[in-house]
């Protein structure tokens, strides 16, 4: 059974995004108001801990008791033609309190955090953060040939356009829509409907 937060996030993705994950195989079935090209481009969420990793329990640098004002970016990772969920709890320290699958309280919060497995990454305001910072807080590798536990050529798209340079150097700017692809091309989406306040 999916958490209510994940279900809402997936529903929010579908109307405006080409790459958002789903829990079923891609189909070309027509859905009212959604272009067939978007339906054809969606990918299922992968099964197992590599695709749905657990909450990390790692040291957190510059950890503060209050979450404070944050700007949201959306990061999506695809590997083996499947969606890899970014786990909730990146950049937070236990104990954590959950409500409907979302972290509503943690011992402290670092500069880059995830509170739910929707791909929304919250960056402390007045902080310059990159994909490299996100993956370091997660404890997962990111290079031109590896993302998390998946090996292969890594491509990064921001707003639907290919980003040059090292994947870890891509900045996590407010409302950036970032797609990371390992070992294959999936048409990247350009937009994401951000929750209020991010």
Residues 6+ apart with CB under 8 A from 162: 155, 156
- Greater pLDDT, 11 or 78: 78
Strand, helix or coil for residue 168: helix
Hey, which of 16-20, 99-103, 189-193 has the most confident mean pLDDT? 99-103
CB distance 7 to 117 below 8 Å: no
Average pLDDT taken over every residue of the chain: 86
Mean pLDDT of 97-103: 96
- For tokens 């910072």, the residue is 133
- For tokens 């404070």, the residue is 68
pLDDT tens-place string over residues 33-90: 777 766 766 889 999 999 999 999 999 999 999 999 999 999 999 999 999 999 999 9
Pull the structure tokens for residue 123: 């960056």
Over 90: is that where the pLDDT of 122 sits? yes
Spatial distance between the Cα atoms of 159 and 177, rounded to a whole number of angstroms: 5
Question: Poorest-confidence range of 39-43, 52-56, 106-110, 173-177?
Answer: 39-43
Mean pLDDT of 134-150: 97
Spatial distance between the Cα atoms of 78 and 20, rounded to a whole number of angstroms: 10
CB distance 167 to 143 below 8 Å: yes
The reported pTM is 0.82
């Amino acid at each position: 059974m999916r958490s209510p937060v994940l279900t809402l996030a997936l529903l929010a993705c579908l109307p405006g995004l080409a790459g958002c994950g789903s829990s079923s195989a891609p189909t070309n079935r027509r859905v009212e108001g959604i272009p067939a090209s978007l339906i054809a481009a969606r990918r299922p969420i992968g099964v197992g801990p590599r695709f749905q990793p657990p909450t990390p329990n790692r040291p957190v640098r510059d950890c503060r008791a209050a979450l404070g004002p944050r700007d949201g970016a959306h990061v999506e990772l695809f590997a083996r033609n499947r969606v890899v969920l970014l786990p909730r709890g990146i950049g937070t320290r236990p104990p954590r309190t959950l409500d409907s699958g979302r972290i509503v309280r943690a011992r402290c919060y670092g500069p880059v955090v995830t509170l739910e497995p929707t791909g929304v990454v919250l960056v402390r305001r007045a902080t310059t953060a990159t994909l490299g910072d996100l993956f370091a807080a997660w404890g997962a590798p990111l290079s031109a040939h590896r993302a998390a536990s998946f090996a292969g050529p890594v491509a990064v798209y921001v707003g639907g356009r290919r980003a040059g340079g090292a994947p870890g150097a891509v900045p996590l700017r407010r409302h950036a829509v970032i797609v990371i692809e390992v070992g294959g091309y999936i048409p990247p989406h350009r937009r994401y409907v951000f929750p209020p306040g991010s």
